[in-house]
Homo-oligomer: A and B are copies of this chain.
């Protein structure tokens, strides 16, 4: 044993104890004949005091930053206490010490605010991980892991490991594949999720399954995606949507309590996918603030059950609105006194390529009760007031209006809403708002293949009331232009997403458990019988032997941790992340392999 205590545990009550500590040298400060060393380990920092008697030895063994030191001495009360740290009342008068290992000068400072850039820190990730800021993230990750497990355990879930070497069934994302040496010419795939296996476990009667498990997707990495990521993966038997929602909002609340000591007592809000899109332009709205959308104009083919307020803008001869598919507005609180410069800046903001709008219309609901707009020419003050009122604007608010193509405009107003929420401080770091988004469309239309694709995945069941529609109709789309009129376009999924502060943290569905319906689904996705059998024969087979109703959910564990840790980047919560090219720059992987490995695997390169 190299130590009697850690660097985080000694207190005034330990005064006069003989102790041995081991850790890393954080700082060395010489004051005349005496030397102070802050010694650091995972648990904290303790001040060591080297007296004059150790000077000779210190000269022979000079200490430097990040040296590994073992030191023995007596705990004593400090004259100059440090209330910032738990050990700040004491120091250790060192009687003997040993340098266990030296350190080169680190390429960046091991501090919360380091001078190291991202690339350097990733290359020396083992040093970056020493920083308190990073350590806190990984500790938080562990406490989320622990809280989730404890909740699931106490609710009767059991952790069952599913295989990593499975079969490639590309549908949705791309698989990573693994050549099989023992079966030349054949490949395993790494799982994108344990989806089919957890369903089989339900068929096997395991009733409540969970796993905190690595999953793999070979996608071009957008910022903040990782080729390997972790899911809290769960499945339950004999459940309906309501059972899943209550079980898993319970889990997230329990994590809030355990990890952040937050009592999330309020009811978790619920919203249909259609309402989310209609009111927020987004299927994962941040509901920490209002500013919901006024739908001034919508295309006739979508949101057929919703009514727009076209009367407010029509008939004014304002071409921009008249020619637009969609006109959407939000009322931004307290911004009616924005200067020309400020509204110009907002106009530039929506014209950036990432947003892609042609311009921005505004109405100022002035505090004096007057209304001013960038489209005064077309709309009387009375009409402006009517629009502003419809948008929910109060005196002093600024109404922002975007017009254009439905998909882009809805996305743009959502982005603008989030941006204004951020600028106005309405998206508070320490506020957490959960939301269930429900009733997604089961299918999306794939223009290229003129066929349906599963919005969630091919195992998601339709709403019970839509099963007949699905079974009794031919999924083929005869008239591509009118795909929205196909009965499948209106089938709703028995699916749910959990949204936290505008981030999707989990998603799942009640699954199909009848062979006939599953075959119909595969057929809708353009899979013929042979392909169905090749890829999913085992699942279709399993459904013939007493498959129970079941459903589940998977949480993005990395994302959940990053939100709870108050960060935008999941990378900060992964011990050894990969960069945007999928590289681990520390170990320098991926890398070339030996010819012997190619020979054994019976593959060769075919570089273009």
Residues of A within 8 A of B (CB): 1-3, 6, 22-25, 40-43, 66-68, 70, 100-104, 106, 124-127, 129-130, 135, 138-139, 141-142, 145-146, 149, 153, 158-168, 170, 174-190, 196-197, 200-201, 203-208, 214, 216, 218, 220-221, 227-228, 230, 237-240, 242-243, 513-514, 534, 537-538, 541-549, 574-576, 578, 581-584, 586-594, 597-598, 600-608
Can you list 24 contacts pairing A with B, beta carbon distance less than 8 Å? A1-B242, A22-B237, A40-B205, A42-B208, A67-B546, A68-B546, A103-B546, A125-B200, A126-B538, A126-B545, A138-B160, A164-B164, A164-B214, A165-B590, A166-B584, A168-B594, A176-B178, A177-B597, A184-B605, A188-B589, A197-B575, A538-B586, A602-B606, A602-B608
Does the CB pair A603–B600 fall under 8 Å? no
A131 closest partner in B (C-beta): B204
Tell me the minimal C-beta distance from A166 to chain B in angstroms.
5
Tell me the minimal C-beta distance from A23 to chain B in angstroms.
8
Docked CA distance A101–B203 (Å): 11
Does the CB pair B1–A239 fall under 8 Å? yes
Does the CB pair B607–A602 fall under 8 Å? yes
Q: Residues of B contacting A576 with CB < 8 Å?
A: 162-163, 197, 200
Q: Given the known inter-chain contacts A159-B142, A602-B605, A602-B606, please indicate yes or no for A592 contacting B187, CB distance below 8 A.
A: yes
Docked CA distance A68–B581 (Å): 48
Does the CB pair A180–B590 fall under 8 Å? yes
Docked CA distance A168–B158 (Å): 34
Pick the most buried of A230, A589, A608: most chain B CB atoms within 10 A of its CB: A589
**Could you list 14 further interchain pairs (A-B, Cβ under 8 angstroms) beyond the known A103-B546, A161-B214, A603-B606?**
A6-B207, A42-B208, A100-B549, A129-B200, A135-B205, A162-B576, A165-B228, A177-B178, A177-B597, A177-B601, A180-B590, A186-B591, A187-B591, A534-B591
Does the CB pair B605–A574 fall under 8 Å? no
Does the CB pair B204–A129 fall under 8 Å? yes
Tell me the minimal C-beta distance from A539 to chain B in angstroms.
9
Does the CB pair B548–A100 fall under 8 Å? yes
Of the residues B190, B243, B547, B575, contact of A160 by C-beta under 8 Å = B575
Does the CB pair B104–A544 fall under 8 Å? yes
Q: Given the known inter-chain contacts A127-B204, A170-B594, A575-B160, please indicate yes or no for A177 contacting B177, CB distance below 8 A.
A: no
